[in-house]
Structure 1
Amino acid sequence: MTSSPDTKQDKSYIDKLALILINSNRQQLVARSYDRTVFYTPGGKREAGESDQEALRRECIEELSVDLLTSTKTPATIQSCGTFEAQAYGKSEGTKVRLTCFRVTPRVAELELERLVKASEEVEELKWIDSSFDREKLTLTGRMILDDLKRKGLID
C-alpha cells in the first residue's frame, strides 16, 4: 500500500534506542563498529513486538555482553532520560535518527555495569569518554548527548 503525497511525512526517521552508561570517573560509554570511524551511543532498533526496555536489553546483550536487569547484583531498573534527533550518520541528507535514551538505576547498579561491559563480536571498540573527546569522532546525536550530559553535570 502506498500513501499519497498529502499523508506522507516530510522527513524519514530511523527510530532507535540507546543506553547512556556513566562510569565512576564521570565518563560516558561509546562504541565503534567495524569499518566505522565514529563512535555511537550503544543501542539499536526495536524488533517486532518488543517494548523499548526489551529491545534495549537485547541490544546491550548483543553489543555489550550484559543484560541490564540481570547482570548486576543490585536490582536494576531502566529509566528514560531523553530523546535526541539529528541527521543520521552515513545516510542520505534529510534522513534523521531519533534516539530515545535510557539509563540504569540506581547508580550503584550502573556502576556495577562499568566493570561488566565488554565489546561483543559486532563491536570493534568500546571507549569511556568525557566532554573533551574529539567531537569529530562522534555521530551528531552522540555530540548532542555528550553536550547534554556535560550541561547536566553528569560527566566531566
Structure 2
Amino acid sequence: MIDKIAWLHLADGRILSTRSRGKEVYYLPGGKREPGETDAETLVREIREELDVTIKEESIAPAGVFEAEAHGHACTLVRMTCYTAEYAGTLAASSEIEEVVWLTYADRDRVSAVDKIIFDHLHETGRLK
C-alpha cells in the first residue's frame, strides 16, 4: 500500500494537476508522508516543493480518501487522502514537476488510476466540468 496525500484545487470547473519529469500521466499535486509527519504537514511540504506556494494550514479541509492500483506498480494499491486548502503565492512547477496544468473531466484518460476515481467523484458531484 502506498499512502499519499493530495491537494484538490478546483477553479471554474477545472482541477490543478501536475506531470513529473519523465512521466506520461498527470497526477494531483501531493506525495508521500515522511516519518512522523501529519497529513497537514505532508500537504504543506509537498505543495511547497512541487508548486512553490504556501498552503494556508487553517484552511485545510478533508475531501475524501480514494484507492486504486498504483500507476506502474501492478498489484500495489495507492491510498490517496485528499484535502482542499487555500494557498498564498504564485503556482509554478518546481522540484521534479515539469508541467502544471488545469484539467477537466474530458482529460480523465490522461491521469493515474486513482485520479480517475477522484475525477469521477468530482464530476458526479458537479465540481469538475
TM-score for both structures, normalised by structure 1: 0.78
Q: 2:56 matched to which residue of 1?
A: 69
* Counterpart pick for 1:136 among 98, 109, 117: 109
Q: 1:118 matched to which residue of 2?
A: 92
Instruction: Give the 4+ runs in structure 1 shifted more than 2 A.
Output: none
Per-residue deviation, 1:49: 1.3
Which residues in structure 2 correspond to 1:7-156 (within 5 Å)? Answer: 13-23=1-11, 25-69=12-56, 76-91=58-73, 93-104=74-85, 110=86, 116-133=90-107, 135-156=108-129
Matched residue of 1:101: which SS? strand
- Distance in structure 1 (CA, Å) of the matches to 2:116 and 2:102: 14
* RMSD after superposition: 1.5
- Distance in structure 2 (CA, Å) of the matches to 1:118 and 1:149: 24
Relative to its length, the structure with more strand (as a share) is 2
Ranges in structure 2 where 5+ consecutive residues have no aligned partner: none
- Distance in structure 2 (CA, Å) of the matches to 1:121 and 1:50: 20
TM-score for both structures, normalised by structure 2: 0.93
Higher alpha-carbon Rg: 1
The sequence identity of aligned pairs, in percent, is 39
Ranges in structure 1 where 5+ consecutive residues have no aligned partner: 1-12, 71-75, 105-109
Structure 2 letter corresponding to 1:81: A
Equivalent pairs counted in the alignment come to 129
